[in-house]
Structure 1
Amino acid sequence: MTGGKRSPWRAMVLVSIISSYIVGGTVSGVFMGLWLGNQFGAKPFFLVTFLLLGLGTGFYGVYRAIEPFIGDGK
């Protein structure tokens, strides 16, 4: 039964999406924070701020990606 709701390929795609959102948001936040910190001379402030923004964005993307799978049972 390929293409069913419990397909292992679908699960692997979902895991790939989740990991790419978290890693991508975190890495983007770190690089943006380091770059802005070097530009303005406030490296720790920008690094921490953009790291947290990147993590928040990544987890929001994960929530939006898994939202159809955690529906209210309809």
Structure 2
Amino acid sequence: MKEPNSSQSPWRAISLVSLIGADLVVCVLIGFFLGKYVSDLMGDMPIFIAAGVILGLAVGILSIVYILKRFTEDPNG
């Protein structure tokens, strides 16, 4: 009989999908609020909000790549 592999658990897949979604949302929201803060400091320039969202999206994507690398590496060496 084949022993179950802990790296192929459905709970592990659910946690990965949840982590990716939450990470992307948090990064974009932080970018938005930082952009809004800078926009308010500079005199209500909406370009900073857009730049903050784009920067947050880029950071979120890089973070997702890092998360995927961590989840897909072999824990046994």
State TM-score, norm by structure 2. Answer: 0.79
Given that 1:33 and 1:48 are in contact with CA atoms closer than 8 Å, whether structure 2 keeps it comes out as yes
Structure scoring higher RCO (CA < 8 A, sep ≥ 6) equals: 1
For structure 2, the residue ranges without an aligned partner over 5 or more in a row are none
State TM-score, norm by structure 1. Answer: 0.81
For structure 1, the residue ranges without an aligned partner over 5 or more in a row are none
Question: 4+ runs of 1 displaced by more than 2 Å?
Answer: none
Computing the radius of gyration from Cα coordinates, the structure with the larger value is 2
Identity of aligned residues (%): 28
Aligned length: 72
**Within the alignment, does 1:11 sit opposite 2:43 as a pair?**
no
CA distance in 2, matches of 1:42, 1:52: 18
